[in-house]
Amino acid sequence: MSRPLFAFSTAILGVALCASAVAQLPDASASIAGHSVYELEGGEIVAADGQGTYVYDTWDEYLRSSFFFRHGMRCGFDRLVHPPEIAFLGSQSDCTNSGSFPNPVYDPSGGSATVYDIPVAFHVLYSTSGAGNIPDARIYEQIDILNQDFAALTNSRIQFHLATEDPQGNPTSGITRTRNRSYYNDRGDYASAVGWDTNRYLNIYSNTAGGNLGYAYVPNGGGVVGSSFDGVRLLWNSIGNTNYVPYNLGRTGTHEVGHYLGLFHTFDGGCGTSNCNTSGDFCCDTNPESSPNYSACSPSERSTCGSPDPVRNYMDYSEDACMDSFSLEQAYRMRCTLENWRVDLTTWEGGGTGGTVPDQVSGPSPANGASGVAQNASLGWSAASGATQYDVYFGTSTNPALVSANQTSTSFGPGALAASTTYYWRVDSENTQGTTTGSLWSFTTAADTGGGTIFFDGFESGSLSGWSTSSNVRVGTTASTGAFSAELRRTSSMSRTINVGSATSVDVSWDWRTSGFDGGENIQVILSGGSGGPVTVSSTATAFTTASRTLTGVSGTIGIEFRTNANRNNERGYVDNVQVQ
């Protein structure tokens, strides 16, 4: 449970936090626009401004705080100190920092328009405690989200891929990892230390982003392209599909890359003037807006300048689920930026050649809508023309989670499936020109007839649906298999009741581990419903192990409850692959 928040001076803060914690606070010179955000080693978030200092137990709590909204931390672009305007790449008058002048040459429509394919170098900057060390799967999801969003409604024909060649010409995954607490807290010249050539790569840095959800520099005034600081910063919690509602769908990345490609906020300049190409966001097909929208969309969307506000546009501050598109003139401006300002970004490593993306995957097995599917079924599909690899999404929700990225085979084994359960899946096909999103398929498994799997949850749906949880339980990305697990922080619990039908004896198994626990702290499971009474099992293992117990004399239902008894945010238990047979 989050503790109450108070505004207090640094002197008073010393009463609540140890002296070493106070010493970790950033000095005033490191703050932007008079405020500062910093994560302590124990995971607490300390935010300070002229009104006081505030402590938040978790990033989720901070992202819902009045401090976050008061300082407009959805995006830090407006508070960056921009370099002087230095035009150095030739004529760029069609898209400057003082206006946009749409030219049909930038029109993305039609099959002959150039496809710009941008190589991404993704730099994970994580703390000495391990915080922020996101898995590759989250990065793959973010690249997929960028490709989907830049092709949504208005197809900009701008695509992204993780770089396959580093600045020295060596093969690469496009992902680097650096363990450094200052870099993690968005301090120090990490861009010079770990960044790649900013003329040739879109550098995305994953860290705390200075307490913002993200920030990036607009290049269209000069002085940005080729500098070491050029690139995008993203709060690590907001990358890919996460449980950090309402910023859980990767739209922060889309928003910041929009800045990187020359776009301004839809509310910049307020209601503007009569010339929409030289005021506001310089795009005449985005209605003017007097202030950012922080909320979800609603049937009666707001109007602050006499016309409906563009709250669904990726360049507003709306919640992720509300955003769905760029406008056509925004696509013009981004393509103009690539043509005139970021001229070297897509002219190597196969970028910008106007090639063809792969066909959509077809031929699902099990067939779409199939029922009575075996609980040990594997997924299969027909190879898509032009595809070199595939991303597989699978789970029990209609927005399935990424479970396998960049695989070359046309099959995937999801593991043991639960009886009488509907699963959803899709396969995206990829090549160097981009990604083609697959159709959403589904199938339903057969009812249990005895002796098979009665229940299974590997948390690959990205949710804890069906579990009763305390406030410190969430979906985690430290998993035994797949992409997700259940994460129990501090003292917390999760439980559920499972119908075992006519079975009188069942085997219960699970994978679990701990992280950072002190003496006397452990993770426990309590199994109830057997004739011998509740069975309790404990563990302090720091690597995933599989445990199991048999319950006899059961009748109708059993109960499963996992508990932890830790006392700090960075002390966590993980549970995965809970199965009843």
Query: Do β-strands 175-179 and 116-126 pair in parallel, antiparallel, or remain unpaired?
Result: parallel
Element of type H or E holding 513: strand 505-515
Angle at 497 between CA 418 and CA 561, to 5 degrees: 105
Q: Which two tokens stand for residue 309?
A: 């506000």
The owner of tokens 């109450």 is 4
DSSP collapsed to 3 states, 197-260? CCCCCEEEEEECHHHCCEEECCCCCECCCCCCCCCEEEEHHHCCCCCCCCCCCCHHHHHHHHHH
- As a whole number of Å, the CA-based R_g of the chain is 25
- What is the per-residue burial (b if ≥16 Cβ within 10 Å, else e) of 297-309? beeeeeebbeeeb
Residue 138 and residue 242 in contact, taking contact as beta carbons nearer than 8 Å: yes
Could you give the C-alpha distances from 150 to 155, 258, 333, in angstroms and in order? 6, 9, 13
Burial class from Cβ neighbours inside 10 Å (0-12, 13-18, 19+) for residue 70 reads exposed
- What is the per-residue burial (b if ≥16 Cβ within 10 Å, else e) of 7-36? eeeeeebeeebeeebbebbbeeeebbeebb
Q: Report the residue count for the chain.
A: 581
Q: Which two tokens stand for residue 572?
A: 């966590």
Peptide bond into 414 cis (omega under 30): no
Residue 403 and residue 394 in contact, taking contact as beta carbons nearer than 8 Å: yes
The 8-class DSSP code of residue 311 comes to T
- Kindly compute the dihedral angle of the four CA atoms of residues 247, 251, 252, 253, in this order, to the nearest 10 degrees: 140
| Amino acid in the structure at residue 539 | S
256 as an active site residue: the answer is: yes
| 235/251 Cα distance (integer angstroms) | 12
| Per annotation, catalytic residue among 141, 256, 289, 561 | 256
DSSP helix/strand/coil, 37: strand
| Closest to 186 (Cα-Cα) out of 32, 20, 17 | 32
Could you give the C-alpha distances from 282 to 113, 216, 233, 274, 332, in angstroms and in order? 23, 18, 24, 11, 11
Instruction: Give backbone dihedrals phi and psi of 132, rounded to 5 degrees, phi first.
Output: 90, -5
| 327/263 Cα distance (integer angstroms) | 11
Residue 525 and residue 493 in contact, taking contact as beta carbons nearer than 8 Å: no
| Amino acid in the structure at residue 489 | R
| 50/60 Cα distance (integer angstroms) | 23
Residues marked as catalytic:
256
